[in-house]
Amino acid sequence: MNANQFLKAVSQLQGWRECAFLLSLAERSFPNYALFADAVGLKTGGKMRQLLDLAWDLLQKDVADAAIPQLLSKLESLCPTVDEYDAYGVYPAVDFCELLEQALLNRLNPNKHRASEASQLATRTVMDFVEMSDGEGLDEHELVSVFEHHPLLKDDKQFQRDTVLALKKQRSPTEIFLAELQAGAANGGVSNLGISLEG
């Protein structure tokens, strides 16, 4: 699957597949939120984990429309404000919140396509991190070369492509398929930035 095929495949995701793709992106970036919350003394990691699990559960349940705004409101209350923290980690944490928000909004309004933008957001989180950690003092040309060869960006690309392919092949959101999708996205607790909940 080349870049154009991938972009087309993402743009064609709809219904439960689009929601599952958005949740997979959020799942992969969850450790970024949990580790940030832990580092700054917020006691919100567990609550956010519950919220993410609830969102996965929604893929197999008919859910009352009224339930989604409540979950969105809870998410908003758990999301850090960038201006309040002087730590880089707040940015990937907020990106995670945005991905989960897109997944919940997808359930509220499935006709609005969100997967393409979310895919770019997830990749941008990795690019920003790579630029911050490996890109100091590089010119634009050198930075592009770093992006092209960086293992984190290769992993992100592979993960997103594998997820889209799995979703395209799957006929219905069975419990077993979704459990495998979630486990694959969770990546043993290692996020898209290569950081782990296990430390």
Where does the pLDDT of residue 199 fall: very low under 50, low under 70, confident under 90, or very high at 90 and above? low
Q: Give residue-wise pLDDT tens across range 40-84.
A: 999 999 999 999 999 999 998 877 778 899 999 999 999 999 999
pLDDT at 195 over 90: yes
Q: Give residue-wise pLDDT tens across range 146-157.
A: 999 999 999 999
pLDDT at 108 over 60: yes
Residue 68 near residue 107 (C-beta atoms within 8 A):
yes
Question: Average pLDDT of 91-108?
Answer: 97
pLDDT number for residue 65: 72
Q: Cα–Cα distance between 96 and 104 in angstroms, integer?
A: 13
pLDDT number for residue 135: 92
Q: Cα–Cα distance between 83 and 16 in angstroms, integer?
A: 35
Question: Average pLDDT of 173-193?
Answer: 97
Quick one: which of 99, 107, 94, 52 has its CA closest to 74?
52
Beta-carbon contacts of residue 53 (< 8 Å; ≥ 6 apart): none
pLDDT number for residue 29: 98
pLDDT number for residue 197: 82
CA angle 171, 175, 176 (to 5 degrees): 85
Three-state DSSP class for 152? helix
Q: Cα–Cα distance between 12 and 6 in angstroms, integer?
A: 10
pLDDT number for residue 43: 93
- For residue 186, what is the enclosing H or E element? helix 175-186
Which residues, in sequence order, are bridge partners of residue 190?
196
Say how far residue 143 (Cα) sits from the centre of its chain.
24
Model pTM? 0.97
